[in-house]
Amino acid sequence: MAEGLANHLGAGRVEAHSAGTMPFGVSRHAITVLEEIGIDISGHYSKGLDEVPGSFDLVITLCDSAAALCPAERLPGPSRHWSTPDPSFVDGGEEAVRRSFREVRDRLAGQIGALLEETLRDGGKG
């Protein structure tokens, strides 16, 4: 979701790539909740860290296990950590999971929007 949101909100001003420490596919819930706000990630696929290109201006880890497996000193560039719950593991059935995906989507959209404002204000230095 973060890659799709960042590329959409960045409107060509950023190039975002997402990777996982244990890639296992793009959730249908992620596709659905981003579709609700006009973002199509149906063509995205789950990538490992070795599949994302090049050097980075900023690396953001989202889940605590990723931050533990990829400590900042091992990341290729400046980094930040946004502790984000995994909406896949919410109890309560289909609608509860979908609601959790929406909450994470909205939270990430706010964080990414704020980061874009900060970056653009500071002249592109993430």
Given this model, what pLDDT does residue 78 score?
A: 83
Q: Give the mean pLDDT of 71-79.
A: 64
We find that the CATH architecture of domain 2-121 is 3-Layer(aba) Sandwich (3.40)
Using DSSP's 3-state secondary structure scheme, residue 38 falls into coil
Paired strand residues for 60: 80
Residue 99's pLDDT band (boundaries 50, 70, 90)? very high
Which has more pLDDT, 86 or 72?
86
Give the span between the Cα atoms of 54 and 76, in whole angstroms. Answer: 9
pLDDT higher than 90, residue 31: yes
Q: What is the pLDDT of residue 48?
A: 82
Spatial contact of 60 and 30, defined as CB atoms under 8 Å apart: no
Transcribe 77-108 into DSSP letters: S-EEE-----GGG-SS-HHHHHHHHHHHHHHH
pLDDT, position 53:
79
